[in-house]
Amino acid sequence: MKDLGKLRFFLGIEFVRSKAGILMNQRKYALDLIANPGLGGAKPVFTPLECNQRLTTTDFEEDILCTNDAIGATVNDSMLLDPESYKALRVIKYVKNTPGLGLLMSSHQSDNLVAFCDSDWASCPQSRKFVTDYLVKIGNSLTSWKSKKQTTVSRSSVEAEFRSMASTVA
């Protein structure tokens, strides 16, 4: 086994140490994402989606391959043909505004483990399935979060909340 020194990069995540703690971010990946499709001169936006925009499965009936090359080809075209391209470009413009944001694991915090969960019973009008959300914090640092449409239909809001709690602790 070989000691590689202090951790700086791991799986595309940059680790920056300071007196405040350890900051984990994907700044290099974000800058590469902006540079590849040629969006260096694009005006940044402050939100990843437009306010009050609802996404439904009918917006994405066909599988869309959204890679840097596909976005780059879209940017180089004189016209954006589909609304999904606008949405993908808006997310990249948002990332341009916030490339260095990350998670701070504070060195001055307690080791309390706190978890929050919620469910939105029958939120999908097509399938009546619920969406479960959770987040887990150690001290004041967010360590895990998830938002997912469940695979089963719950018969009541209590069952949906129970399933949400179960997925939080699993």
pLDDT of amino acid 70: 52
Q: Looking at the structure, do residues 156 and 97 belong to the same domain, yes or no?
A: no
Do residues 122 and 140 touch, judged by C-beta distance below 8 A? no
Q: Domain containing 149: what range?
A: 109-169
Whether 88 and 121 map to the same domain: the answer is: no
pTM over 0.75: no
Terminal-to-terminal C-alpha distance of the chain: 33
Residues sharing a CB contact under 8 Å with residue 105, sequence separation 6 or more, in sequence order:
21, 22, 23, 24, 138, 141
So what's the pLDDT on residue 83?
66
Q: What is the chain's pLDDT, residue by residue, as a tens digit (170 residues)? A: 888 888 888 888 899 888 888 888 888 888 887 787 667 777 888 888 777 766 665 544 444 445 455 555 545 554 445 666 777 788 888 888 888 888 888 777 777 888 998 888 766 667 777 888 889 888 777 888 888 877 778 777 788 888 888 888 87
Domain boundary among 58, 90, 108: 108
Q: What is the pLDDT of residue 49?
A: 79
Q: Same structural domain for residues 2 and 51?
A: yes
Domain count, the chain: 2
